[in-house]
Amino acid sequence: MLAIVWLVVALVFAVLEVATTALIGGFITLGALAASVAAFIGADPVSQAIVFALASMLGLVVARRPLMAYLKARHGPETLSGAYGMIGQDAVVVDPIKGAHQRGHVHIAGEDWPALSRDGLPVDKGVVVRVVEINKATLLVDRVSVTPGHSAEGLPEGPSQG
């Protein structure tokens, strides 16, 4: 009869482990399974409790730390969301950026966001820029492409002197 109780305990902690993934419930599950085996072969309740405690503690003390380190090492980089997810993305200037402290707007992720050029130079409408930083709610951008008729700095080209 106690073997069934230990199996129920194992099941409960297995479900908790799946919900938390802290690697604590898993070792308690293993301890309960070991105690269930002890009950099945006829060990007295005190021996079952000792088997449960030893198996659970052994797993927690010996195996948990290296397993957690392994799982954290396998975890990829954190996914950025919201505005920080826009860093590195290209956008199109929809309202010109007129200077170092004169915001324009860029269209990115289906929305228009206030933007400044990182170098402080003006950027005309239609220029493709890349988001490189976020300062409060303003995107800082660098030019990606050169608009025909403009220099690499975004300034209109004058008649060539030659």
Cα–Cα distance, 27 to 35 (Å, whole number): 12
Residue 108 contacts residue 82 (beta carbons within 8 Å):
no
Strand partners, 130: 90, 142
- Whether the full predicted model's pTM is greater than 0.85, yes or no, is no
Question: Which amino acid is present at 128?
Answer: V
- CATH number, position 111: 2.40.50.140
Closest-CA residue to 38 (of 23, 22, 26, 54): 54
8 and 38 housed in the same domain: yes
Cα–Cα distance, 115 to 133 (Å, whole number): 10
The tally of domains found in the chain comes to 2
37 and 92 housed in the same domain: no
27 and 63 housed in the same domain: yes
pLDDT tens digits for range 19-51: 887 888 889 999 999 999 999 999 999 999 999
